[in-house]
Homo-oligomer: A and B are copies of this chain.
Amino acid sequence: MSSKPRTAITPTRAENYAEWYQQVIRGADLAEPSPVRGSMVIKPWGYALWENMQRVLDDMFKATGHQNAYFPLFIPLSFLQKEAAHVEGFAKECAVVTHHRLEVGPDGKLMPVGELEEPLIVRPTSETIIGDAFSRWVQSYRDLPLLINQWANVVRWEMRTRLFLRTAEFLWQEGHTVHATREEALEETMRMLDVYATFAEEWMGMPVIKGEKTAGERFPGADQTFSIEAMMQDRKALQAGTSHFLGQNFARASEIRFLDRNGTHQYAWTTSWGVSTRMIGGLIMTHGDDDGLVLPPKLAPTHVVIIPIFRSDDERARVLEYCHGVARELGAQRYAERRVQAIVDEREERGGDKIWHWVRKGVPLRVEIGPRDIEKDALFVARRDRSPKDKQSIPRAQFVADIGAILQSIQDALFARAQAFRREHTHEIDTKEDFYAFFTPERVAENAPTPIHAGFALTHFSGEVELEQRIKDELSVTVRCVPLEGGEPGICPFTGKPSAQRVVWAKSY
């Protein structure tokens, strides 16, 4: 093993993908498990990334006419019962508040007292509690459309949790809108799916497929669910955002009615849509490499880290002054609607440790500056999308002037790489035998130390719920979505029946 190239993360993706994921998070200091079952602590570097995502998404929501509001954390148990399918899907694993007081018991320990008349559920999603408010807010067609978004924490009592991907508590936004007509609600559903796709591709650099979910994967209570699906580097699919057309189901459940222009009472049409901190998991698994996190520049909390290199105190003062001058000049530049974020790493650490620290954290550009660079008025620059050893000397003025273009070229390179990876691992598969072979881990295991999944299969499908369930049971593979971009009709290899278009099959998170 001594000839194995050094990587900043152990194990590598090929050695053990799941463990690599945990170690990237640890190495970048994004988050950590907490003593509260299934909940995580989002550390400053992870939270700064989330803040950047929030800011961009929030601007996109506002640009499409939405307003933020805030609704209660607790949902009365009776509310959850209002929509039948919703009960089935959401009322299962919830945190239930049953008491409102603590007292010191006979053993000197605190114990819950003050039982509530009606238990309260910590929101797993807010359709029912927001629907209750909307039933008051919506009276007339003049009140429509009602376009609301909430940034909030939600809780789903997951049994198997993984940082960012699936945690009992997570942060998200949930959009909830009310419309006078079916057409307008469907239009809104698609508009927000487009917003999510634009955010994923243009900001996260993560290519996604927009599509509709099959009945089995639909949101409980929705008429139609749409999602964006991304391919992770283990070739599994990650559902990165969903947009639901709720028909009149929740409007009937919550009595959201309005007086139309003709003076008739009508039930309204509603939508809901959300993305969560799960997107951070998607970002990690789209761009991360065996040296750790790789941040798309548009969302990176820090764009440029400057590492001063010096040997003596005398050199130190001179080098630091120069470094701060460069940081100031960079900070006066703009990229992707904010100032370029450049910092000087002045910590008392060895230069090599600093370099690997920032490599693991995924900062797009690393600049090393020592006395000899200052003499030449040039900087030693390394891009995070290339090998850590691939450094280039660039004249200071040129680097500062070009900083926006350099960051954009990293952003573009990451997106192009992710697109190429997805293309390479997406196959049109037309027979049942090829399909089963594609999704049988043994086949892949020959070439890799741990099983890597095959990728996306584009296969015709005649749509039977039982068939999809059987394939799920046999191969742990599901239809991730029916792509919106459509395609030619064909024959379903499982049933021999006609199929309107190929659908995306994959293992998924």
Partner-B contacts on A (CB < 8 A): 32, 34-36, 39-44, 47-48, 50-51, 67-77, 79-81, 87, 91-102, 104, 109-110, 112, 114, 119-122, 129, 132-133, 136, 142, 148, 152-153, 155, 157, 169, 171, 347-348
Across-interface contacts of A34 in B (CB, < 8 A): 71-72, 129, 132-133
Residue from the list B94, B142, B153 in contact with A73, Cβ < 8 A = B153
Minimum distance in angstroms from A176 CB to a CB of chain B: 12
Instruction: Decide: A67 and B44 in contact? CB cutoff 8 A.
Output: yes
Instruction: Decide: B129 and A36 in contact? CB cutoff 8 A.
Output: yes
With A51-B68, A110-B80 known as contacts, the answer to whether A155 contacts B73 (CB < 8 A) is yes
17 contacts between A and B (CB under 8 A): A34-B129, A36-B72, A36-B76, A36-B120, A39-B73, A41-B71, A44-B68, A44-B148, A48-B68, A74-B95, A92-B102, A94-B100, A94-B101, A96-B97, A96-B100, A99-B119, A142-B347
Residue from the list B71, B99, B133 in contact with A98, Cβ < 8 A = B99
Instruction: Decide: A119 and B112 in contact? CB cutoff 8 A.
Output: yes
Instruction: Decide: A171 and B97 in contact? CB cutoff 8 A.
Output: no
Cα of A69 to Cα of B50 in the assembled complex, Å: 10
Minimum distance in angstroms from A67 CB to a CB of chain B: 4
Which residue of the partner chain B has the closest CB to A95? B97
Which residue of the partner chain B has the closest CB to A159? B100
Instruction: Decide: A101 and B112 in contact? CB cutoff 8 A.
Output: no
Instruction: Decide: A169 and B73 in contact? CB cutoff 8 A.
Output: yes
Across-interface contacts of A142 in B (CB, < 8 A): 347-348
With A39-B73, A91-B110, A153-B73 known as contacts, the answer to whether A121 contacts B102 (CB < 8 A) is yes
With A91-B110, A129-B36 known as contacts, the answer to whether A69 contacts B42 (CB < 8 A) is yes
Cα of A136 to Cα of B69 in the assembled complex, Å: 36
With A102-B92, A121-B102 known as contacts, the answer to whether A41 contacts B68 (CB < 8 A) is no
Cα of A26 to Cα of B70 in the assembled complex, Å: 16
Across-interface contacts of A133 in B (CB, < 8 A): 32, 34, 41
Which residue of the partner chain B has the closest CB to A36? B72
Residue from the list B80, B100, B348 in contact with A93, Cβ < 8 A = B100
With A97-B97, A100-B93, A121-B102 known as contacts, the answer to whether A47 contacts B68 (CB < 8 A) is yes
Instruction: Decide: A70 and B96 in contact? CB cutoff 8 A.
Output: no
Instruction: Decide: A96 and B94 in contact? CB cutoff 8 A.
Output: no
Across-interface contacts of A68 in B (CB, < 8 A): 44, 47-48, 51
Cα of A100 to Cα of B121 in the assembled complex, Å: 9
Instruction: Decide: B35 and A76 in contact? CB cutoff 8 A.
Output: yes
Across-interface contacts of A112 in B (CB, < 8 A): 96, 98, 119
Across-interface contacts of A104 in B (CB, < 8 A): 87
Cα of A153 to Cα of B151 in the assembled complex, Å: 11
Give the 10 A-B CB pairs with smallest separation, nearest first: A39-B72, A44-B67, A42-B70, A96-B99, A96-B112, A36-B72, A100-B157, A91-B102, A95-B97, A98-B98
Cα of A407 to Cα of B221 in the assembled complex, Å: 48
Which residue of the partner chain B has the closest CB to A87? B110
Instruction: Decide: A109 and B95 in contact? CB cutoff 8 A.
Output: no
Instruction: Decide: A97 and B122 in contact? CB cutoff 8 A.
Output: yes
Cα of A152 to Cα of B152 in the assembled complex, Å: 9
